[in-house]
Amino acid sequence: MRKFNLVLALFVSALVLVSCKEAKKAKKGVEDVATKVTETAKKAVSESKEAVVVIEANDAMQYNTKKIVVKAGQTVKLTLKNVGKMAKSAMGHNFVLLKKGTDMAKFATDAMKAKATDYIPAGDLIIVHTKLLGGGEEDTITFEAPEKGEYDFLCSFPGHYAMMKGKFVVE
């Protein structure tokens, strides 16, 4: 009988050990889920602080958008993709964001003469710009959204701005 009791005691303690382990596992599971939820929440916050903008430009001398809207205080991550096939020298595209109140026609005329710098003229009228891209190329720029308002953007390749322009709105 004593032997039986000993076996029983061993069995019970083994059982207790196992259930302890299970409890620990379950606790870890809950902690993992909690960590995941926190990470997701953090990600959502950082995403709202960042505006991801993707624009395409093509061989038909067009952007696929005429209006970009972001929020004040956001970091803008803007990618320009030249989805065309033509060479940069024939159908190059860029994205140039102008300071408020800039005379776009005058700017574009100055840009035309700036071939050596990929049609980015000297001066301080530009907030930000991408590289000049040939077919199949892309460039990403990151910048802080300027103050609330409406800004003009254009492609400064000679002759393109008449078709390749739009509004960049910060609200």
Q: Is 81 in the site for Zn ion (CB under 5 A)?
A: no
- Report the nearest approach of Zn ion to the CB of residue 29 (Å): 54
Binding mask 23-62 for Zn ion (x = CB under 5 A): ----------------------------------------
The residue of the chain with the least Cβ separation from Zn ion equals 155
* Polymer length of the chain: 171
Residues touching Zn ion, count (CB under 5 A): 5
- Report the nearest approach of Zn ion to the CB of residue 32 (Å): 50
Q: Is 95 in the site for Zn ion (CB under 5 A)?
A: no
Interaction residues for Zn ion, span 149-168 (CB under 5 A):
155, 157, 160, 164
The CA-atom distances, in angstroms, between 58 and each of 6, 33, 78, 100 are 83, 45, 17, 27
CA 47 to chain centre: 9
Q: Is 93 in the site for Zn ion (CB under 5 A)?
A: yes
Q: Is 131 in the site for Zn ion (CB under 5 A)?
A: no
Q: DSSP of 2-68, one letter per residue?
A: HHHHHHHHHHHHHHHHHHHHHHHHHHHHHHHHHHHHHHHHHHHHHHHTEEEEEEEE-TTS-BS-SEE
The conformational region for residue 24 under phi > 0 = left, psi -120 to 50 = alpha, else beta, is: alpha
- Can you give the binding site for Zn ion, defined by CB under 5 A? 93, 155, 157, 160, 164
